[in-house]
Structures are given as structure tokens and as C-alpha cells.
């Protein structure tokens, strides 16, 4: 079988594996991109291939229009994923907004009777049936910058650079729009297991909101906390990766 190589703008494979036994699809958080997972392959066995999802309007897709509607996102992304889903087993990892996206992608795959992930790993995102009360997509620029500072992961020099913020804030606002305008619809829970993660000091999701992911699987459910805030794995991803590997 010839291994699929990607020309899709949606999928970035930083360290291709010639014969992967498993693909790890990683969905990034708001205002970030596929590069969030650029170095993950270095902490994984060579036969696990990291496929990082890249939303439009950032990094290699900076000239493309930002997406704020779920239908626009899911139809295009699912179409480009399809060639990758029948070759090797795969799992999903999504952080924050990425957790919600991979949940909806898995639902879309199931509806189309396509292969679904063996596991879904969700990080830093409340369960999808819990609405977001403190909406920020129409907040002032200053409020958005304060939120970024609270989440951690963005250097202070970047937060204080007006030119960079003029590029960065529309991406953040679009991603927050997608996250906050999401409307949950009731469907059957998944059969594959779900594992949820958070930083102990994460102000974006509390333990109760995270534990509610258990309602979305009839399989096993596990929950793990790590030291740190919302972007707890940014400096040392290997700690999180080790936890994921225990399930694979």
C-alpha cells in the first residue's frame, strides 16, 4: 500500500514516518497553529506520525480567510482528512478550541460511516454540552490581550508589540467566535475511550467542566491534571506526551 502524502493545507506532517503504525492527529488551540506540535515527533516513537491540523488564516495559511462558521470548517477539513483515515489506526488530540473541533470532526466521520479514532484526547476544554457564559469574541482588544496573558504561552514582548497584536488579534477573535458560537446538539456517545487533561491552575476550564466529557463515551474515561495553567504543556510537551503514550 502506498502511503498517502499530504498536499492539503489542513494537514502538516513535520516528521513523516515511512511506515507508521499509528497517526496522531493534533488540533491546535485558539490563536495558534500547527507549529504548536512541530516538535512532538521528537518525543514519540518513530512509528507514530504526528499530523497537525492547520486552520486557515495563520502560519502557512496566513493569506486565507479566517473561519468563524462550523459548517465551513467541518466540511472542508473532513474531506481532506478522508484519504488518511483508512491506511493506519489513528487517535485525536485537541487542546482548547482544538478539543471541540476534534469532537465535531469525530461526529462527522461517524455520520459518514468513516473510520473514527481509537482514542480521543481532550485538553483544556470544557465538555461540549456546557455553554460558555463569559463570551469574549466581541470584547475589546485590551480584554483579549489580558486573556492571552492569563492563559500563558504568549511572550510579554509579543503582547506589548502593537504591530504583532494587529495581526494576531483578528485570528484570536475569529477562533473565539467559532468556540463561543458553537451550538451543541444531542447525539449518541462515542464507543471509543476519551481521556481528558488540564493544568491545575487553568482558569479557562475547571475540573467539573472537564469531567463532564465522560458523558460523551460509553467506553473508558480517564482524567489527568498537570502542574501549570491553560497552556501547561507548552514548555515541556514530553510530560503530556508520556501520559498519552500510556494509552496507545
pLDDT at 1 over 60: no
Tell me: the pLDDT tens digits for 178-225? 999 999 999 999 999 999 999 999 988 999 999 999 999 999 999 999
Tell me: the pLDDT tens digits for 17-59? 888 999 999 999 988 899 999 999 999 999 999 999 999 999 9
Strands 22-27, 90-95: pairing kind: parallel
In a domain, 145, yes or no: no
pLDDT at 4 over 80: no
Respond yes or no: is residue 96 known to be catalytic. Answer: yes
In a domain, 88, yes or no: yes
pLDDT band at 5; cut points 50, 70, 90: low
pLDDT at 6 over 70: no
Chain center to CA of 221: 18
How many CB atoms neighbour CB 40 within 10 A?
22
Percent share of the chain, pLDDT over 70: 97
In a domain, 147, yes or no: no
In a domain, 112, yes or no: yes
- Predicted structure pTM score: 0.93
Structural domain containing residue 231: 11-131+188-245
Query: Minimal CA–CA distance to 110: which of 53, 196, 52, 190?
Result: 190
pLDDT at position 165: 84
In a domain, 5, yes or no: no
The answer to whether the CB of 26 falls within 8 A of the CB of 99 is no
The residue-averaged pLDDT of 141-158 equals 80
State how many domains the chain has: 1
| DSSP conformation class of 171 | H
Q: Would you tell me the crossing angle of helices 162-180 and 97-111 to the nearest 10 degrees?
A: 40
Of residues 46, 96, 146, 185, which has the active-site annotation? 96
Q: What is the CATH number of the domain that holds 117?
A: 3.40.50.1820
In a domain, 168, yes or no: no
In a domain, 173, yes or no: no
Cα 33 to Cα 27, 158, 213, 227, 229, distances in angstroms: 8, 16, 24, 23, 19
In a domain, 41, yes or no: yes
pLDDT band at 162; cut points 50, 70, 90: confident
Which residue has cell 483578528?
A: 170
Amino acid at each position: 500500500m502506498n502511503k498517502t502524502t499530504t498536499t492539503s493545507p489542513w494537514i502538516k506532517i513535520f516528521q513523516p514516518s515511512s511506515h507508521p503504525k499509528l497517526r496522531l492527529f493534533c488540533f491546535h488551540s485558539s490563536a495558534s497553529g500547527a507549529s504548536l506540535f512541530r516538535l512532538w515527533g521528537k518525543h514519540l516513537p518513530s512509528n507514530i506520525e504526528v499530523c497537525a491540523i492547520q486552520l486557515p488564516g495563520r502560519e502557512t495559511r496566513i493569506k486565507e480567510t479566517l473561519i468563524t462558521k462550523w459548517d465551513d470548517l467541518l466540511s472542508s477539513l473532513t474531506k481532506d482528512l478522508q484519504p488518511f483515515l483508512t491506511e493506519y489506526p489513528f487517535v485525536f488530540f485537541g487542546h482548547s478550541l482544538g478539543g471541540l473541533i476534534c469532537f465535531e470532526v469525530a461526529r462527522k466521520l461517524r455520520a459518514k460511516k468513516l473510520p473514527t479514532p481509537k482514542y480521543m484526547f481532550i485538553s483544556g476544554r470544557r465538555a461540549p454540552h456546557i455553554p460558555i457564559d463569559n463570551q469574549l469574541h466581541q470584547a475589546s482588544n485590551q480584554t483579549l490581550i489580558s486573556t492571552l496573558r492569563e492563559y500563558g504561552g504568549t511572550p510579554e514582548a509579543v503582547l506589548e508589540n502593537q504591530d504583532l497584536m494587529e495581526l494576531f488579534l483578528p485570528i484570536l477573535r475569529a477562533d473565539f467566535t467559532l468556540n463561543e458560537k458553537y451550538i451543541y446538539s444531542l447525539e449518541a456517545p462515542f464507543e471509543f475511550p476519551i481521556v481528558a487533561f488540564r493544568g491545575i491552575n487553568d482558569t479557562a476550564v475547571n475540573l467539573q467542566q472537564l469531567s463532564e466529557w465522560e458523558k460523551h463515551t460509553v467506553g473508558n474515561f480517564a482524567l489527568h491534571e498537570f502542574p501549570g495553567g491553560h497552556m501547561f504543556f507548552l514548555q515541556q510537551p514530553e510530560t503530556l506526551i508520556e501520559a498519552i503514550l500510556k494509552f496507545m
